[in-house]
Amino acid sequence: MAKRNAFYAQSGGVTAVINATACGLIETARRHRDRIGKVYAGRNGILGALREELIDTGKESAAAIRALRHTPGGAFGSARYKLKGLEESRPEYQRLIEVFRAHNIGYFFYNGGNDSQDTAHKVSQLGAKMGYPLTCIGIPKTIDNDLPITDTCPGFGSVAKYVATSIREAAYDVASMAETSSKVFILEVMGRHAGWIAAAAGLACEAAGDAPHIILFPEIAFDEAAFLARVGKAVKQNGYCVIAVSEGIKTPDGVFLAENGARDAFGHAQLGGVAPRLAQLIKDRLGYKYHWAVADYLQRSARHLAAKTDVEQAYAVGKAAVELALKGHNAVMPTIVRVSDRPYRWTIGVAPLAKVANVEKKMPRNFISRDGFHITAACRRYLQPLITGEDYPPFKNGLPRYVRLKNLAVAKKLAAGFEVWK
């Protein structure tokens, strides 16, 4: 029987290092050509499988694949798409298996966060239910750092480094002009239910009076009166106040401050705009001039400031995914296991997808200060190693030099017309 091929897909929001994972996976698979045939990538994630839009990564040079390690974004395209239920009679499941069968795909590698690990788990069950032999490995990726079991999630360390750096630099700007200009600066970062990214801003505060002076976490209900009092106190003590806020902060009754009524493909509330709301609140109640910014895509695409630790871990989980598959593992996810804090040492572990899928890891309460406005020493010990080290991309003409793959399509073998995802 011919060697079976592999299918790799990127899922959900991309990161500065998700392509490093792709690099680790593809380079490792190429070293095992005796057991793995071609490595296909899904064009725009799982949609590439449903639409039979497969990319032949074998058409890319070794140098191009190697350059993925320092290139941000999703090299093959990503998508948010949730497979419904687990009934093999559903058209998308039938289509998935049809495409895999047509292209002799025996390995499914799905690189994403919570919902993506659920999809990988469902596909592993699907193969068994439909009598199609398929090895499924989930690969961790999320800037939100909210996957369980794994100590950290590839993508988070680089966002943490970017946010901590950005808020420190902005604070120097605000402090310079606070006497006659803005006294309050607010940086809004991602984080729907977990405040890991907002917490990372706290790393910039190394001495009394350092920014950020206030951090707002989704895990702590927003107390308007306490917040305004804290802003006023910071301005009186320092002459200015710098705030890091997670997009997912909620009122005491559980309503997102920034919810706009829209929903994404997974049914999650669309968020955005909490910073200007807080800024206006401060202006109305305290009268301070303000500036605000939303880190948005900048925080997750800043490969020029990626953490070396994060890059190494991202590559390692891609490599481990192939190795686990070849050792006979199925329906599992490689994890990062922390061995020690000082010195920071880590290794690769493994977790069953059944225990990872749809489980969110939030900030432990002992990582948040008693008053709810900052991080603790325990949180700092956890976060600090994740942002360490620099791994700069090559530069040309003053700008980072990234790779764009050819992404040549594999010839289709099935009839067109599958439209269930629209």
Which residues participate in catalysis according to the annotation?
144
CB 130, CB 97: distance < 8 Å: yes
Q: What are phi and psi of 115, to 5 degrees?
A: -65, -35
Pull the structure tokens for residue 363.
Answer: 């900030």
Sign of the torsion angle spanned by Cα atoms 224, 229, 233, 236: positive
The span from the CA of 137 to the CA of 322, in Å, is: 8
CB 302, CB 197: distance < 8 Å: no
List % helix, strand, coil for the chain (3-state, nearest 5): 40, 20, 45
- Tokens 């990161």 map to which residue? 15
Residue among 215, 235, 223 nearest 374 (CA): 215
Q: What are phi and psi of 236, to 5 degrees?
A: -65, -40
Pull the structure tokens for residue 52.
Answer: 């039979």
